[in-house]
Structure formats: structure tokens, C-alpha cells
Amino acid sequence: MEKTLILIKPNAIQRGIMGDIVTRFERKALRIAGMKMMFLTDEILAEHYAHLVERPFYPYLKASMQAGPVIALCLEGAEAVETVRQMVGVTNSRKALPGTIRGDFSMSGEQNVVHASDSVENALVEINRFFKEGELFEYESAVTRFEYGGEETLKYIK
Ligand code: UDP
Ligand code: MG
């Protein structure tokens, strides 16, 4: 099934809301395929935010992402990439809709609580960036048949 990459940013860990964030994904019936705490090196950050390294705010973004460890999460579900981006909300938390993670937990465009992959293609690259072989787990959810309908099971789960 489709997988996506989330980073719970240092600001969320400092503010003690990582549990609330993980709970939202659990309640949504996304399967947690991998989870780890790590410090981000200059190299991994420059790769992850390659589209932003030349921007004037990059030094601030870098400092905020290295202010403490992050939690990397690999989540799995039908159309997980798009679904999680919708759950996260737009980049500027002040503009993010209530009910989204950024909309409910942040006032900032920078310290916006989480990263989420923005396309299926990028999700594959990002999952490989943050998880090594053996750090992702395949296990059957005991309640999948209560989470998805029959037609969806054929289409997404196989
Ligand atoms: N960011 C920022 N100022 C900006 C745009 C982005 O500080 O004007 C930060 C913010 O933390 C954001 C991250 O850079 O989450 C990555 O930016 P991107 O455009 O990829 O947004 P996202 O995919 O996180 O919504
Ligand atoms: Mg992005």
C-alpha cells in the first residue's frame, strides 16, 4: 500500500505535542510502518530541503530543524500521501484550516510542527532518506477489514 514520510519537527517535540500528532494518524487508521528519533545532519537537511537551500530563510529553517531531534514516521494507507498532506494543512499554519494539524497546533509558517511528503514520487525518495533497510515493518493490521470496504481492499491492499 502507499507509504508517506512524516517528520515531527523539533518544535513539536519541545512543546510536548508529539503524542497528539501520532494519535491523529492512528485514529485516521494509517498504519505505522516505521518510527524513529534522530538528529538531522547538515547533509541530510540540505538534501531534504534542496528546493529551499538558496532561499533567504533557509538558515532559520535549518536551525529550527536542528534545535533538537525529530521523529521520522513512515505511514501507510490507501492514497496515504494526499490524505496526510490534507491532514497536515498548508505551510503557513496561520492559514491552515482548523481541523488540520498545523491549523490546530501552530501559529507559525516556519515552526509548523510537521513535514509531510508532497507527492508519491517524493515520498519514496524521502522514506529511503530517513529509513534504512530493516527499519520499516510489514505487519498485518488486525482491523483492516473494518477500516476499508471490500472494493477498496481489492484496489489498494491486494
Ligand atoms: N518555510 C519557511 N518559510 C517559507 C516557506 C517554508 O520557513 O516561506 C519552512 C517551513 O518550515 C516549511 C519548510 O520550510 O514546512 C518546507 O517548505 P515547503 O515549501 O516544502 O512546505 P511544506 O511542504 O512543509 O508545507
Ligand atoms: Mg515540502
Looking at all shown ligands, the one closest to residue 86's CA atom is: 1
Kindly list the distances between the CA atom of residue 16 and the CA atoms of 8, 11, 12, 36, in Å, as whole numbers in the listed order.
11, 9, 6, 17
Backbone angles phi, psi at 10, to 5 degrees: -55, -35
Ligand 2 center to 4 CA (angstroms): 12
**157 pLDDT tier (thresholds 50, 70, 90):** confident
Smallest CA separation from ligand 1 atom 1, residue: 110
Q: How many domains does the chain have?
A: 1
Global pTM reads 0.97
115 is catalytic: yes
**Cα(18)–Cα(117) distance, integer angstroms:** 18
Convert the pLDDT of each residue in 22-62 to its tens digit: 999 999 999 999 999 999 999 999 999 999 999 999 999 99
Among 11, 45, 52, which residue has the most ligand 1 atoms within 8 Å of its CB, making it the best to mutate?
52
Which residues 6+ apart lie within 8 Å of 113 measured at CB? Answer: 8, 9, 11, 12, 17, 21, 93, 101, 102, 105, 106
Pinpoint the alpha helices (H) of 16-119: 18-27, 42-48, 58-65, 80-88, 101-105
CATH number at residue 38: 3.30.70.141
Domain enclosing residue 143, as ranges = 2-156
Question: CB of 62 within 8 A of CB of 98?
Answer: no
Looking at all shown ligands, the one closest to residue 91's CA atom is: 1
